[in-house]
Amino acid sequence: MTQALKYETASSGETQALAARLGEIVQSGDVLCLSGDLGAGKTTFTQGLARGLGIEEPVSSPTFTIIKEYDDGRIPLYHMDIYRLGEAAVQEDLGYDEYFYGEGVSVIEWYGFLEELIPEDRLELHITLAEGDGRRLRFTATGPHATARLKELEQLCPTSH
Ligand SMILES: Nc1ncnc2c1ncn2[C@@H]1O[C@H](COP(=O)(O)OP(=O)(O)OP(=O)(O)O)[C@@H](O)[C@H]1O
Ligand SMILES: [Mg+2]
């Protein structure tokens, strides 16, 4: 089950506005896997998603903490950045399942290092750089929950594709 949804944004504000719409509809147990080069906009997207959840605490890159939890929104946000752990991520016992199968939504930057431990039903977002401040965002759903969320997002934010 794979369905793709594509967007183009022209600024970080546009990326965050789209992310905020997703933040309004995500549900407990949702998992969002983010990929794209350094500086593509994964953390920027997560900040917008947090805003859509009603989180007011500033969201920063969890590069050193690896996992940061925000509890002041509609549901908790678990923001992870696996980059610093790299290949060691799967051996580190950071209690990933507590997050993936918890009450909140998990957002994982550099999820490739952790892929085998991440639930199969997940939303994936790949961000690529375009001209200037442009970004291309490509969402894919890999299971029924993620597919449902993608359809809701498409209704809220129709694309021209
Ligand atoms: N259209 C856009 N969408 C998102 N970010 C943009 C856009 N245009 C410019 N930017 C800028 O690009 C940078 C993206 O940085 P960000 O930290 O979000 O990247 P990242 O993918 O999380 O990188 P890392 O892999 O290092 O964690 C920010 O400075 C942001 O303001
Ligand atoms: Mg980041």
Residue-wise pLDDT tens digits, 96-139:
999 999 999 999 999 999 999 999 999 999 999 999 999 999 99
User: What does DSSP say about strands 135-141 and 3-9: parallel, antiparallel, or unpaired?
Assistant: antiparallel
Answer whether 38 contacts ligand 1 (Cβ < 6 A).
yes
**To test ligand 1's pocket by mutation, which of 34, 37, 38, 44 has the most ligand atoms within 8 angstroms of CB?**
44
Q: Which of ligand 1's atoms lies nearest the C-alpha of 127?
A: 21
Is pLDDT of 23 > 80?
A: yes
Per-residue confidence (pLDDT) for residue 93, from 0 to 100: 82
Q: How far apart are CA 53 and CA 158, in angstroms?
A: 20
pLDDT attached to residue 101: 95
98 burial via Cβ count (<10 Å: 0-12, 13-18, 19+) = exposed
**Which superfamily is assigned to 3-154 in CATH?**
P-loop containing nucleotide triphosphate hydrolases (3.40.50.300)
Residue 161 clears pLDDT 70, i.e. is over it: no
Distance CA 153, CA 25 (A): 8
* 27-84 pLDDT per residue, tens: 999 999 999 999 999 999 999 999 999 999 999 998 888 999 999 999 999 999 999 9
Which pLDDT does position 2 carry in this prediction?
A: 56
The per-residue pLDDT for 160 is 62
User: Which ligand sits closest to the CA of 38?
Assistant: 1
| Contacts of residue 94, Cβ cutoff 8 Å, sequence gap at least 6 | 66, 67
How much is the pLDDT for 48?
Answer: 98
Q: What is the reported pLDDT for 41?
A: 98
Task: Please state, in angstroms and rounded to a whole number, the distance separating the CA atoms of residues 38 and 40.
Answer: 6
pTM: 0.97
Rounded to the nearest angstrom, the distance between the alpha carbon of 37 and the centre of ligand 1 is: 9
Spatial contact of 108 and 13, defined as CB atoms under 8 Å apart = no
